[in-house]
Every structure is written in structure tokens, then in C-alpha cells.
Amino acid sequence: MQLHYFPTPEATNTLSTDELRARFLISGLCQPGAITAHYTDLDRMIVGMAVPTSAPLPLPNAKETGTAFFLERREIGILNIGPGPGTVRVGGTVHEIGPLDCLYVGPGEKDVVFETGTVGEAQFYFISTPAHATHPTAVVRRADLHSDPIGDPAKANRRRINKLIHPDGVKSCQLVMGFTEFEPGSVWNTMPPHTHSRRTEIYLYFDLGDNAVFHFMGLPQATRHLVVRDREAVLSPAWSVHCGAGTGAYRFVWAMGGDNQTFADMDPAPIAELR
């Protein structure tokens, strides 16, 4: 498991392009036949992906968690971003997880195993946060999501925000997770931008194909940007804005951990104040 520690806002402004990407961008998550995982100092969130092929992939024990098993004091949200279905075994229960279905598993589960029905089809992206309260394992089906579109086509930001793990849906200790998708012709996400002084966030951009997303980050008065490709994750500290525009259609997963689970808890960064 790779560790990620973050520079201060002042130090971030001095980083080269390569240094900025090394600190805030995670590439290479999608590795067939393997589990990749990255431990961050963003509220101790772990981000990773399991891509089972011919053999099942158990969620590994990791010394970085300081526990006897991965979910001893953690919870996890799992989203299948692959083109086909797979299964996740939690203890003695097998959960069929189709494309864009989500599985939540609370603390205390020792055995979590990823499997695929068709070789290479399921791609399980996951986010894990520390947890001090137990909530039951639950599945959110893509077919059951009914989110209303928001945004304005004239501003190229017409989109649907699909909430998966949140206080009014699948309950968790502190993890909040969902994904956003765009209507044709819209490419801007989260504009005007904001920061989360009480929470941190991790983005995963996917279904880009050959397109790219220009992800904006940094202090509102000193913005930087990252060019992000398909299935790359961006780590967003509490002090950083996070918004972006794609060269074509895309989706992104958002996940947060921190002091609360209030979706609207954000500090606006008006466009007029951006630099």
C-alpha cells in the first residue's frame, strides 16, 4: 500500500507539474488480476481498485491500518465501474454487483473477496474511511437511482448527482459517496467551485475514453490544474478547490470523510474571486 502525505498550500504553489501530479494524482489503479490501494492523510482515507480476473481477490490486511484486518475499525464503499458484473463475498454472503452498483460494508467484517463473472469485466473501485460505529452491509442498485438533473445547458454543466452512501440513503459512520454524470454537451463539474474546511474529498474520473479532464485545484486565489485521464484519482485537501471540465463526456466518483456527512457543508469560492 502506497502512502500519500500532502504539502501545505504555500508549498503546493512552488511545485512543478511533475511534482504536483506526484502529490495529488493517482494513476495505475486499474490493474487486471490485482488490488491496488493508497493510504492518504486526507482524513486517513484509503482509495483503491480490485480487478479480479481468473482468481478471487481478498481485501488484504495492511500494516498501515494498524489493525488485525482491513475492516476491523474501518468501513468501505465499493462501486463497480467496469462494463460487466461481478460479485463481492462478505463473510458467507455473495453480493452480485452490476455496472454502477454500489456495495457498503461496515467495520468488523473480516472476509471481503472480489470476484468477476466474466474475465476482466468487473472493476471494483473502493474508498475506505475510519469508523467507530457499525452499520449493516447494503447494496445500492444503479436501476434504483432516481436523481433529478441540475445545472444549466447554457453553462455546459447540466448533470445528475447520484448519491449512494449518505444520511438519507445507505447509512455509514462517516463515509459519503456517489457519482456524477453529464448530459450531452455538458462538461463542467462543480462550477463555481468550493472548498470543504471540515471534510476532504477524493475524485475518480472514469468513462472518459480518449478524452481528458482539466481538474482545477489549489487555493481559490492561486489555482493550479491537473490533466486527468480515464480511471485516475485526484486527492483534494480541505483547503483546495475542486472543479473541472472535460474535452468530452465523462463520469466521476466523489467520496468524502471528515467531521460530518452534510452534503451541502461547503465554503463557496465565487468565480469573481478566482485567480
> What would the pLDDT profile of 19-41 be if each residue is shown by its tens digit?
999 999 999 999 999 999 999 99
> What would the pLDDT profile of 153-193 be if each residue is shown by its tens digit?
999 999 999 999 998 899 999 999 999 999 999 999 988 88
Give the number of residues written for the chain: 275
pLDDT bin (cut points 50, 70, 90) of residue 63 is: confident
Sign of CA dihedral 201, 202, 208, 212: positive
**Residues 259-266: what's their mean pLDDT?**
76
Predicted pLDDT of residue 118: 67
DSSP state of 197: T
* Domain extent listing, the chain: 8-273
Predicted pLDDT of residue 193: 87
Q: For all residues of the chain together, what is the average pLDDT? A: 93
8-273: which CATH architecture? Sandwich (2.60)
CB-CB contact of 243 with 271 (8 Å): no
Q: Is residue 258 pLDDT above 90, yes or no?
A: no
**Residues 128-139: what's their mean pLDDT?**
96
266 to each of 151, 192, 239, how far by Cα in Å?
A: 18, 12, 11
pLDDT above 70 covers a percentage of the chain that reads: 99
Predicted pLDDT of residue 260: 73
